[in-house]
Amino acid sequence: MARYPSPASPPHRPWPELLTGLTGAWLGLALLKFGDPVVFDWLVPPPANLAEFIAISWPISWGYAVIALLAIGAIIAGWSCPKRLPWFAWLPLAWLGWQLVAASQTIDARLTGVTLKHFAACIFCFYLGLLVLPRPASRRFWGALLVGFLLVLWLGFDQHYGGLDATRKLFYELPNWRKLPPEYLKRIASNRIFSTLVYPNALAAVILLLLPPLVTLLWRSCQRWSFRWRGVTVGLFAYSGLACLVWSGSKAGWLVALVLVWLCVWQLPLGRRLKTGLIAAALVFGITGFVLRYAGYFERGATSVVARFDYWRAALTVTGHHPWLGTGPGTFSVAYRAIKPPGAEMAHLTHNDYLEQACDSGIPGFLVYSGFWIASLIHLYRHNRRSFDWFHFAVWLGLLGWSLQALVEFSLYIPASAWTALTVLGMQLRRCAFENQIDNLNPGGYSP
């Protein structure tokens, strides 16, 4: 037992704990500065002055520089591989290896190059969480990440209450604004908030990922407060996140949130009839609100839904023509431009992370990536069922929400979103592996 101490009495290891806090702070900063897709790296020049340094996105190369520093910190902190890691914990390496193979047949070397760098950073973040960051310091990680998330919500409120109009006015004063991609022009013309992310649906994905665990963390952190102040504080935070989700105008985000609410209510220690009633009421309220808010959108023909079906059909067509290696990581836009229907809206990504793997790296890439997420979510859910904990269940809810949102978005290709999700997933799998290891060493004894 000395070799595998229980989480209740961990040895003092300052470097891993410091690295965990720095990682949380770094990902919080990434939410503010790296919210653009990697395929748009050429649109993000370095800031020219202090005002731009504070106000605008940073080049993705700056993010890689910080990740290199984290890698050095990981070497100093040391790594520890839990025994009996699940087999699928190594699938990300297989997926990255297949991306390199697919890159040999790419139809656009530049797009594939920037995408592969991002994928390598994603894999590093996952294994940083899986092999290095210690569980006892997770509060440092989440606390630092909370600060960045609060700033994202604050900027979302600012956009909703007038900031978008001011941003739009400044944007239209730029001399070359008409040369920017249609996605940017559409985003600026809309009243949907996007905060520091590339566009509103990307903001929705981040909220789905982080709001459940951070609400739970805040509730636990305020346990010494009176119930009234605790409820007000946590309620305001939850309202802020949900309000930004609604203001983002993400239809998929709204529906995914209803699924998460249903799963959360089902875990409450209440009678089956009462839980069924609460779930039914939540679904009726949520669906009614959805219909009322987006009735005009569907009357106008649900253009974004139609466009997505065009992208998905194109992705399947490309996969049929290149079933093994695809057209190369990050190259959907090149393939789509050649086959898109006349008058269809151009897209740089498939708006479905899983189909993107199929058309960019073939059916093997699709199977490995999709299988990794499915196996991870099932494993985490089963583990939490054995020793239920509300915080870890909330983390699982966030990861589930992010992966479901990826069915209609390109969250994997947004550094801030992907780096955060994969780091959190790695940390959760590490926690499960060590807890299973302790249970095997001490059957019938301490259960964390």
Identify the three-state secondary structure at position 291: helix
Instruction: Give residue 439's pLDDT band: very low, low, confident or very high (50, 70, 90).
Output: low
* Mean pLDDT computed over every residue of the chain: 88
Instruction: Give residue 191's pLDDT band: very low, low, confident or very high (50, 70, 90).
Output: confident
As a whole number, mean pLDDT of residues 353-357 equals 97
DSSP state of 322: S
CA distances from 84 to 7, 135, 387, 436, 438 (A): 18, 17, 18, 8, 11
Domain definitions of the chain by residue range: 14-439
The answer to whether residue 247 scores a pLDDT higher than 70 is yes
The answer to whether residue 61 scores a pLDDT higher than 80 is yes
Nearest to 379 by CA among 130, 209, 21: 130
CA distance 260 to 268: 13
The answer to whether residue 135 scores a pLDDT higher than 70 is no
Identify the three-state secondary structure at position 83: coil
8 Å CB contact between 315 and 332: yes
The answer to whether residue 438 scores a pLDDT higher than 70 is no
Instruction: Give residue 189's pLDDT band: very low, low, confident or very high (50, 70, 90).
Output: confident
As a whole number, mean pLDDT of residues 54-58 equals 89
Half-sphere exposure of 413 (CA within 13 A, CB side): 31
Specify the pLDDT at position 190.
75
Specify the pLDDT at position 91.
98
Strands (E), 151-282: none
Specify the pLDDT at position 445.
42
As a whole number, mean pLDDT of residues 75-104 equals 91
The answer to whether residue 442 scores a pLDDT higher than 80 is no
As a whole number, mean pLDDT of residues 220-224 equals 89
- DSSP string of 125-155? HHHHHHHTS-GGGHHHHHHHHHHHHHHHHHH
The answer to whether residue 38 scores a pLDDT higher than 80 is yes
Selected residue with higher pLDDT from 63 and 273 = 63
Specify the pLDDT at position 109.
96
8 Å CB contact between 375 and 88: yes
The CB density around residue 44, as the number of other CB atoms within 10 Å, is 18
Identify the three-state secondary structure at position 304: helix
Specify the pLDDT at position 177.
67
Instruction: Give residue 12's pLDDT band: very low, low, confident or very high (50, 70, 90).
Output: low
Please, what is the end-to-end C-alpha distance for the chain in angstroms?
Answer: 14
Specify the pLDDT at position 381.
96
Specify the pLDDT at position 147.
96
Selected residue with higher pLDDT from 6 and 204 = 204
As a whole number, mean pLDDT of residues 224-249 equals 94
Specify the pLDDT at position 444.
46
> Buried b / exposed e across 162-172, counting CB within 10 Å, b at 16+?
eebeeeeeeee
Q: Name the token pair of 208.
A: 């789905």
Nearest to 348 by CA among 359, 337, 362: 337
Specify the pLDDT at position 175.
64
As a whole number, mean pLDDT of residues 29-55 equals 91
Specify the pLDDT at position 181.
65
Tell me the percentage of the chain whose pLDDT exceeds 70. Answer: 90
8 Å CB contact between 181 and 43: yes
Selected residue with higher pLDDT from 386 and 417 = 417
As a whole number, mean pLDDT of residues 215-243 equals 93
As a whole number, mean pLDDT of residues 4-27 equals 71
Specify the pLDDT at position 13.
62
pTM listed for this prediction:
0.92
CA distance 228 to 236: 12
CA distance 383 to 375: 12
As a whole number, mean pLDDT of residues 383-402 equals 94
pLDDT in tens, 20-31: 999 999 999 999
Distance of CA 138 to the CA centre of its chain: 18
The answer to whether residue 48 scores a pLDDT higher than 70 is yes
